[in-house]
Structure 1
């Protein structure tokens, strides 16, 4: 649902603040009709012969590289703890998106089963302690940044021990952006409560219905907190992005990444108030910075709904369909807005108590 911008002189030139704001706001939301749906489903990779051990990275990458083309066209990517993610292309509606992702998941599961590996689509790894197996410089830098800013445990758990179902929906017509982005956030606590299926971590009950959402809530909220739902969501996203701390500085000539161990706003790197990497940032740096921001609803031209636990069959298709209908169907959206308004900010209650919370249960 997105396009990769070509490398141009404009993208390699140093930014000023006004250009940076315009760059982020201009790409935040793309006008058009609603309807298309893209789904992404993560799952923990498990060695069926040794479920308490993490699968070594070379074994994972060897298997993924040998996969055949998937019938639904999904991309297969890997998270730093070895989680496997299927990202299906946009489909005309939720039913088609579910069918495509389900077909691809069946092919992937069969290929993994041939090597005695299985997929566990739940919000948090219920057995293994968080541990990074990917050697990628990006993830090593992320881990160092989280440790430096005081959320090492949550940062490692997020990267290596969580899994989500992501629902990607069109931004819709410009005139409805504020209401649509606001509703996507307002639905969050109720849908977190409905989707919560991660009560275990490290082999023990956590006391939370969605330990995955708890982990995200324990992270730096300047990077992971919700947008405020104002009248100009594209402009608000630009302000959010430029105020968020820089996590890492990429090596423009290679694949390296240097962690930033202080809280440096991207805006301060732009203005020169806090120089990083002995240079000023470019549009390419800004685009990369956006990939290190994880609000529960992230504007990427379309809307990434990021707050749902990964769930097994038949629950993930139901969650995808419900989320889509509540945002894309005008009648359902109106009813959902009225029903969920009293619990709009109850993120922590939803994560802890799930549908045991009376107010959230009444609105589910």
Structure 2
């Protein structure tokens, strides 16, 4: 990451920082992140931070289960996460959702094994405390007021700012869960191809993984309530950066975009200073109110870039951010989909051709279309279901071309099986749940917790 205390003197340093993410293909890795809701099994109520079976107790117990290699992450005397000793970490989202940020791994067999190891550790801890874990994109039952805020300084600042800039930012913070994958690039040209292609195809992933059709205890009218919430969280930092579709897009244009994203905070020691809505450009030029003449450090920029929330985000790697959290199999399928499309030259060229006519406005419109209608949505002039099938076929070839086998002789393409099922049945996970809700579940929302827990 470079030296966090380096003073930023000009924009060129920020461009250089992105260029430091470049890696030859042999060094490309796969980093998977997934979030889940915690609930008390007896009452199906949310888990607060404090208490004998609260989040704090869970994180402390998780450290014990992992053993000596676990390192707690502490903020102002409170545990807010841990490093697992294997290159990954467990972190705490605003409403008590727990997230695994996985290690950068070589292949999908390792990625899925990591997910399994984490969920087994979590089950050991949660079952002892009477807590369940729910894999779904949006909280099906609890209202905002039911959920306790977690004790992290940055969340207090975001909580105050969100209602000023959108209607659903607090829902995003408290009531949504995602799965994402982080992938590498070889150079600026490779980054451009992968960024543009994945941003154009992000609505396809949103449709395939749509898994959040309920809100406040009943069907919401959306197949991905999580994706819907993101359409009015804070449009200055979310959505589809149009610059990515510029034929000359590169690191400099991305830095320009990030500098236009309003700030949230500055991290000073254990404190977070509220600068919400202010400009990082002003900070760079020495005119940020309250910090006049104080130059920003690289650590400030590295914090700032994490507060931009587009559907695909470039840091020193590319983050695919468009999917609902879901089943164990889907946590493995999401990285498989994107690795298959982006980590094989032939597959990337085919995927590029598929979306050559797609622009930023098409992707913006498709976000709403797929959030509501899933595979029946539209992306530009394309039917989402048709594009989805084509991309899964391309991803399958991409994964087979990688030729990476497990001990049983299977390649990585098997991890796409949940997506093949979606295409075969023409039903997203959300629609499967809705059928159950109106059928076997007799409209009992509590069944969601039983059927979707890990």
CA 1:55–1:175 in 2, change beyond 3 Å: closer, same or farther? same
Q: Secondary structure at the match of 1:241?
A: helix
SS in 2 for 1:39: strand
User: For structure 1, which segment, 190-199 or 307-316, has the greater mean C-alpha deviation from structure 2 after superposition?
Assistant: 307-316
TM-score, reference length from structure 2: 0.71
Residues 135 and 312 (structure 1), Cα distance of their counterparts in 2 relative to 1, 3 Å cut: same
Q: Which residue of 1 aligns with 2:422?
A: none
- By how many angstroms is 1:245 displaced? 0.7
1:146 has 2:162 as partner: yes
Equivalent of residue 360 in structure 1, options 384, 388, 393: 384
Partner of 1:208: 222
How many residue pairs are counted as aligned between the two chains? Answer: 349
**Are 1:301 and 2:316 an aligned pair?**
yes
Q: Which residue of 2 aligns with 1:177?
A: 191
Residue in 2 aligned with 1:232? 249
Among 8, 13, 26, the residue aligned to 2:16: 26
After the TM superposition, which residues 235-314 of structure 1 pair with which residues of structure 2 at under 5 Å, given as runs?
Answer: 235-250=252-267, 252=268, 254-260=269-275, 263-277=277-291, 280-283=294-297, 284-314=299-329
Counterpart position of 2:107: 93
The structure with the largest alpha-carbon Rg is: 2
Aligned to 2:182: 168
Output the CA distance in 2 between the equivalents of 1:114 and 1:175: 50
Contact 1:247 1:259 in 2 (8 A): yes
Superposed, which structure 2 residues align to 1:117-136 within 5 Å? 117-130=131-144, 131-136=147-152
1:175-228 CA distance string (max 9 Å, x none): 322112111211101111111111112212221111111111212222113233
Question: How far apart are residue 94 of structure 1 and its match?
Answer: 2.0
* Residue 132 of structure 1, CA deviation: 4.2
Counterpart residue number, 1:61: 56
From 36, 41, 45, give the equivalent of 2:38: 45
Q: Secondary structure at the match of 1:187?
A: helix
Once residues 286 and 188 of structure 2 are traced to their aligned partners in structure 1, the CA distance between those partners, rounded to angstroms, is: 34
Residues 181-200 of structure 1 mapped to structure 2, 5 A cutoff: 181-200=195-214
Report SS of the residue matched to 2:309: coil
- Report what 2:342 is aligned to: 327
Looking at structure 1, the residues matched to 115 and 377 of structure 2 have their Cα atoms a distance apart, in angstroms, of: 32
Which TM-score applies when normalising by structure 1? 0.88
Residue aligning to 2:97 = 83
2:41–2:130: 8 Å Cα contact kept in structure 1?
A: yes
Moved more, 295-304 or 172-181: 172-181
Partner SS for 1:45:
strand
Distance 2:14 2:222 in 1: 35
Alignment CA distance shift 1:314-1:275 (3 Å): same
For residues 384 and 357 of structure 2, the distance between their equivalents in structure 1, rounded to whole angstroms, comes to 9
Whether contact under 8 Å (1:46, 1:55) holds in the other structure is no
Unaligned 5+ segments in structure 2 are 67-83, 389-454
Call closer, same or farther: CA 1:171–1:256 in 2, change over 3 Å: same
Q: What's the secondary structure of 1:46's corresponding residue? A: strand
Contact 1:39 1:97 in 2 (8 A): yes
> Residue 128 of structure 1 aligns to a residue in which SS?
coil
Equivalent position SS for 1:222: coil
